Amino acid sequence: MVNMSDRIETNSNRAADNANFYDTFWDLKNHKISGQQKARARFIVASINKYISRRDLRILDLGCGTGWLAKYLSDWGEVTGVDFSQKVINFAQENFGQYAQYFVADPTHKQLGLPEDIRFDLVVSSEVIEHVVDHEAFIQQLETFLKPGGYCAITTPNGRLYRYYASNEYYKQRFQPVENWLTPRQLRGLVRQYRYEILIHHGLIYRKFLPGWFGWFQHQRVEKAFRQVGLTNIYPRLIVPFASYQLMFLRKD
């Protein structure tokens, strides 16, 4: 029987094998923070403000990519970013080094080469879980980085929409070596299985191409109607099944 440590290492080895892909995947010469990325950052920052509201946090950006998110996280404490691509980490250090420290991940190490005695108040995993083979091992690995009672932010596409993205040539060309999306129900079940308390589970509408009844929920007029009657906080929860992205903020029991 394969134990969890081996499963975590398998995930890491697969990510390390794909590092060369990410060396060219990111358009580093024309890098800019997109509107969708800014929306994810706003959710994470608002969640920190609501549930933690401290500015001395130790924060891990797990799978940090180009390192852009640290620009938003650094107001809340000390940020560490880790990823498998040396080229991307070099870019992050050169362009966002004033906001964080960045490290190349070691796939042979359960904590990816970070010091074993360091635990974080908050682990952020933005657009990562859909690119790992073993979801359970990834969620277990998050725990190895967290302090007792620590928090976790996960953002990921909605697996219910995968076939719509896969049938769109533009998005299909942007697919990464591993595309293993979770539906909202699957993601909720997964984190609860490993005793994470779901504090927020919101949807983010960024691409509106669902047909019929589902597409109706994505229309801006629907969001505006909820806002006008004072139900602004209900709309992001209501649209989780139909949204392009899932935004989740957790606390580890």
What does the pLDDT look like over 50-81, one tens digit per residue? 999 899 999 999 999 999 999 999 999 999 99
Number of folded domains that form the chain: 1
Provide CB contacts within 8 A for 172, sequence distance 6+: 165, 166
Question: Residue 124 in contact with residue 69, Cβ under 8 Å?
Answer: yes
Residue 162 is assigned to a structural domain of this protein: yes
Residue 10 is assigned to a structural domain of this protein: yes
Check whether 227 has a pLDDT greater than 60.
no
Q: How far, in Å, CA of 244 to CA of 218, rounded? A: 9
The helix-helix angle for 184-193 and 135-145 (nearest 10°) equals: 50
H or E element, residue 9: helix 4-17
Provide CB contacts within 8 A for 1, sequence distance 6+: none
Q: How far, in Å, CA of 195 to CA of 38, rounded? A: 29
Looking at residue 32, its pLDDT comes to 92
Residue 201 is assigned to a structural domain of this protein: yes
The pTM (predicted TM-score) of the whole model is: 0.91
Residue 248 is assigned to a structural domain of this protein: yes
Q: How far, in Å, CA of 156 to CA of 190, rounded? A: 14
Q: What is the mean pLDDT of residues 165-176?
A: 88
Residue 98 domain boundaries? 4-211+243-252
Residue 173 is assigned to a structural domain of this protein: yes
Check whether 219 has a pLDDT greater than 70.
no
Residue 219 is assigned to a structural domain of this protein: no
Residue 148 is assigned to a structural domain of this protein: yes
CATH number, domain of 140, equals: 3.40.50.150
Looking at residue 207, its pLDDT comes to 56
